Amino acid sequence: MLAVFHERGYLVTSVQWPLDSSTARSPLRGKGHFTTILEGDFHPMQQPITINDTRFAAIANRIIHGLPTYMTGNMKTQHLGIYVAILVLNELNHEATTTAISTYTGMATTHVAKIANNLVKLGVVQRTKAHATHGRGHQNLYTPEVDLRQFSVPSPF
């Protein structure tokens, strides 16, 4: 079982998957202040107590359960890690561009772009196009603004 816990100790979401040892090197490990990934059987002691905690739990459930069933637990964990990176970069008032997320997480920019596009399809982040600071063209800015009412809509995958 893959379990995601908030730092306050409550269970955010869990998924039944056989996981391999690479889960210990998850992109969530040590990123921000939201999650810890563990493997095993869990009995959470607390429940979400604030609106932000409840919203994060709903978003984590949307990411974990809304992605295609063929994705492994590790792939879904990467999606959750990219969401956390976008959230943290926005909290720190940094532009969450593909390059910034890539630098923060250590993933390749092409991998980050694909995952971020999946998060946009799920409706957990919004993408806006901005003019590039140098050169021609544009860059994508990601924000974790989300409308929880759309979570009743079935997953696009």
- Summarised one tens digit per residue, pLDDT across range 97-130 is 999 999 988 889 999 999 999 999 988 999 999 8
pLDDT digits (tens, 9 = 90+) for 56-74: 778 888 888 888 888 888 8
pLDDT at 29: 40
- Asked whether the whole model's pTM tops 0.85, one would answer no
Architecture of domain 2-152 in this structure:
Orthogonal Bundle (1.10)
Q: What is the mean pLDDT of the chain?
A: 72
Residue 26's Cα: distance from chain center in Å?
12
Delimit the domains of the chain by residue range.
2-152
- In sequence order, the 6+-apart residues with CB closer than 8 A to the CB of 144 are 59, 83, 86, 87, 90, 124, 125
3-class state of residue 96 by DSSP: coil
Q: What are phi and psi of 8, to 5 degrees?
A: -80, -5
Tokens of 85: 């990176």
Q: What strands, in cross-sheet order, belong to the sheet with 36-39?
A: 11-15, 2-5, 36-39
What does R_g of the chain's alpha carbons equal in angstroms?
A: 15
Rounded CA separation 62/64 (Å): 6
